[in-house]
Amino acid sequence: MRPEPYVWSLHPEAVAALALSVAAYGLALRRYSPPAWRVVAFALGFLLLLATAVTPLDSLTFHLLSAHLLQNVVLAEWAPALLVLGIPPALGERLTENSVLRVLTRPLVALPLWLGTYFLWHLPPAYDAALEHPLTLLHLEHASYVAAGLLFWWPVFQDHPWRLPPSQRAGYVFAAFVLASPIGLLLALLPNAIYDFYVEGAGLWGLSPLTDQQIAGITMAAEQAVVFFVVAAFYFARFLANEERRENYATEA
């Protein structure tokens, strides 16, 4: 049964998980004392996750594919990036002493896991099944997005256990964009709506299922182009700055 659009939701399991995460982070602050900007980044990531669970965005996802894809982007990209940025380097090093996390945060492991999670849940059978089982499969989908997103962003924003030079971080993010962008582009270009859950729904705002799908695909592709370009450009600029410093040092020597 679809919830009414525009209603606020209360998912006790999601709110409880977020509360535990904040409590754990608060305890970590007492030991690692990160700069204020890291705390702000973590807080913003937490607020984004909370918004996907309790605001009308959650109920709108049962009526509009475009709303659902926005929720997915927040869960798999924006919030995890901010949460990883919010982790103090010393705590990040401590966490990745775990052998499993060392493997899962390896770039050649984290990127395929993130891409695989994205592609798997966007297959029509999986997408429709998750929406039809909101208390089980949909929660699993959301949790897997967050977990995969945390692993994906880890080698970009953390130095341990894999200290990538800026050039490799830029290449890693650019590769992620190139490999993930076909999802949004396909949704925008396909001639028919592919998700039965939305085809069979009443729709909203006068949008047909196909128009909704096209808006969702274009928005997703554009968002990824902006976010991933900014991050890749930042690390590429750092790479160029490092190269310039090396050249100046070599000239002076």
Tens digit of each residue's pLDDT (9 = 90 or more) over 74-86: 999 999 999 999 9
In sequence order, the 6+-apart residues with CB closer than 8 A to the CB of 13 are 139
Distance CA 129, CA 42 (A): 32
Alpha carbon dihedral 78, 106, 101, 136, in 10-degree steps, equals: 50
What's this model's pTM, rounded to 2 decimal places?
Answer: 0.94
- Determine the pLDDT at residue 253: 59
Burial of residue 63 (number of CB atoms within 10 Å: 0-12, 13-18, 19+):
buried
Report d(CA 209, CA 151) in Å as an integer: 33
Interval 111-134: pLDDT, tens: 999 999 999 999 999 999 999 999
Spatial contact of 146 and 49, defined as CB atoms under 8 Å apart: yes
